[in-house]
Amino acid sequence: MKKTGKEAVRQRKIHMVLIIILIIIFAAAAGGYYLIQQTKAVTPKDSEGSSAQSRTVPKENSDTVEYKGETYKYNDHLSNYLFLGIDTRNPVDTYETQEDAGQADAIFVVSMDRATEKLKVLFVPRDSMARIEVFNPSGKSLGETTDHINIQYAFGDGKQKSCELMKKAVSNLLGGLPIQGYCAMNMDGIAVVTDFVGGVQITVPDDSLEDVDPEFKKGAVVEITGENAEEFVRHRDIDRTQSALVRQERQKTYLSALVQKAQEKATEDAGFVTDLYDSIKSYTVTNMGNDIFAKLLAASGNGITDTETVPGEGTQGKNFDEYHVDEDGLSDLIISMFYEKI
């Protein structure tokens, strides 16, 4: 049966809203179990300038840049937004201090081209070693150090201050890339969304969870609910190096099932998408108004034209996994994603 014009528009809106919501959900799902003691072990260092400062990339206030013998100009049609997944619980309005803040264990930059109305997504690995600013518990800056970029969030208040710190750290890592807004969601949102769609059925893709829960044997068909969703999408063995990469396959499985179930629900109920967003609002922090989300939704309807990851190599550090950025590779990526040759 052919859809009417209104029905087609409604279906397109449903699809667009789900994409943006699921970007946020994925950010939260990708967060990992990381020891909070990591933040306590940071010792500020007055070291030489960050790699971002030495990287040959355009600066925010520069009209052009010379790079590898070519001249480039920043694409000023772009608006860039930071999406974060936070490893904390409870509504964000209960947060007050660094102890409440948690860590930004999943980091995405969603770039919208206002001219073409298309999106690009850049993933920043949570273990990326980068310049961050350290603060004491009273909020006094102790200077900068090089450490995991995800713990920058922990030196704020778990709300706007934490997001602003992450915005600065990510921008610096990306050579001064302008970032116009942010949206963060904590891990309680995972269970809320899973229960809201009525649970999802998945086929376990690997044996990485079998020792933790025999139910998750490779190949088993399991019902994922709010009760076991967090374990399935977030658990990783911190004693195994680069275990976050293993976990990604489970996250893909979960998200595929969640998208399908959410789309089914949205088709049945015109108010489902709005109600879904309302269900996670208490677990989110954002400075993006409804107009920004509306523009992202419209752009998402045209698809995501490019999905990239900051290039680098994962290694085993003294205490934790580390991801060391390939500076040359990142410079090339920044130029290709955010600049135009003139």
> How many domains are there within the chain?
1
Q: Which two tokens stand for residue 82?
A: 């930071």
- Structural domain including 56 reads 5-341
Dump pLDDT digits (tens) for 84-104: 888 877 777 777 777 777 888
Alpha carbon distance 320, 148 (integer Å) = 9
Alpha carbon distance 150, 50 (integer Å) = 16
> If you compute the radius of gyration of the chain from its CA atoms, what whole number of angstroms results?
20
Q: What is the pTM of this model?
A: 0.75
CATH number at residue 243: 3.40.630.190
Dump pLDDT digits (tens) for 65-89: 899 999 999 999 999 999 888 887 7
Q: Which two tokens stand for residue 307?
A: 């999905």
Q: Which residue has the higher pLDDT, 129 or 193?
A: 129
Highest-confidence range of 286-290, 301-305, 307-311, by mean pLDDT? Answer: 307-311
Dump pLDDT digits (tens) for 318-337: 888 899 999 999 999 999 99
Contact 172, 151 (CB under 8 A): no
What is the structure's pLDDT at 45?
A: 42
Contact 121, 304 (CB under 8 A): yes
Contact 217, 207 (CB under 8 A): yes
Alpha carbon distance 81, 78 (integer Å) = 10
Is residue 315 within a helix (H) or strand (E), and if so which, with residue range? strand 312-316
